[in-house]
Every structure is written in C-alpha cells, then in structure tokens.
C-alpha cells in the first residue's frame, strides 16, 4: 500500500515563506514523479509544480514561477516545495501527488497521478 504524506503548511504573512514536504512510501513504490497541486475554496484543484523522479525535469505554473521551487535530492528522498514571497492568493489546501514512472508524464495532468496525499492548509494573510 502506498501512502503520500504532506507536511509544513501553516500561516504566513504576505511576503513570507513556507516549505512543504511530501513523502511517498510503500513497498511497491520505489521511485515516482511528484507534483504539487492546490485548491482554494470554491475553485478547482490546480497545478502548482512538478518534478520528475530523477529531479532532471521541473515545471511550474505561471502564477508561482520565480517564487516557488520544487526539489528533491534523489528518487528516495522527500519532495520539497519552497514557497517564497507568498501572496494572499496562494491561500489554499496544497496536495502532493505521486506518479509511477513509465510512459509519458504530463506534470499538469491531475489524472496522470496514481496516489494523492490528504493535503495541508496554507494560509497567507495580507
């Protein structure tokens, strides 16, 4: 059984920073692509950032480019989302998702992910 666990959410002021962590574990999951998505109240879940299992490829939503950084040391370590210069519009529940390697991986495609975490709340005050 695979579990995806996020941590690191909380409250920040506009202009501040937070770092989210994501770990996927399970006997059948030795490596995975990872993506961060977020969902604000009344809105659809949207793509934030993605990173390939080898960390060789990353992708960002335009709204966070230059402010957020997704990273991992290797396939077996947690995935991090460093969020700087936070804005009130970044307020949302942030979800981490894991996708098994194999085939073409489209980071922005929610349906391309096999496992999802429960989400962690990020609130940015103005």
Per-10-residue mean pLDDT, the chain, length 126: 92 98 80 95 97 92 98 89 98 96 90 95 97
Decide if 38 contacts 60 (C-beta within 8 A).
Answer: no
From the list 22, 3, 32, the residue with the least C-alpha distance to 78 is 22
pLDDT of residue 28: 66
pLDDT of residue 111: 94
Please count the CA atoms within 13 angstroms of the CA of 32 that sit on its side-chain side. Answer: 27
pLDDT of residue 27: 64
Q: What is the dihedral of CA 26, 114, 72, 123, to 10 degrees?
A: -110
Decide if 121 contacts 11 (C-beta within 8 A).
Answer: no
β-pairing verdict for 10-13 and 68-71: unpaired
pLDDT of residue 103: 78
pLDDT of residue 71: 95
């Amino acid at each position: 059984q695979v579990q995806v666990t996020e941590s690191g959410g909380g409250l920040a002021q506009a202009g501040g920073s937070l770092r989210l962590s994501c770990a996927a574990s399970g006997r059948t999951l030795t490596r995975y692509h990872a993506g961060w998505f977020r969902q604000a109240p009344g809105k659809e879940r949207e793509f934030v950032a993605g990173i390939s299992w080898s960390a060789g490829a990353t992708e960002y939503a335009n709204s966070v480019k230059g402010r957020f950084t997704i990273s991992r040391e290797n396939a077996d370590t947690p995935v991090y989302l460093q969020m700087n210069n936070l804005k009130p519009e970044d307020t949302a529940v942030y979800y981490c998702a894991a996708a098994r390697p194999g085939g073409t991986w489209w980071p922005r495609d929610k349906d391309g992910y096999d496992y999802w975490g429960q989400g962690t709340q990020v609130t940015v005050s103005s």
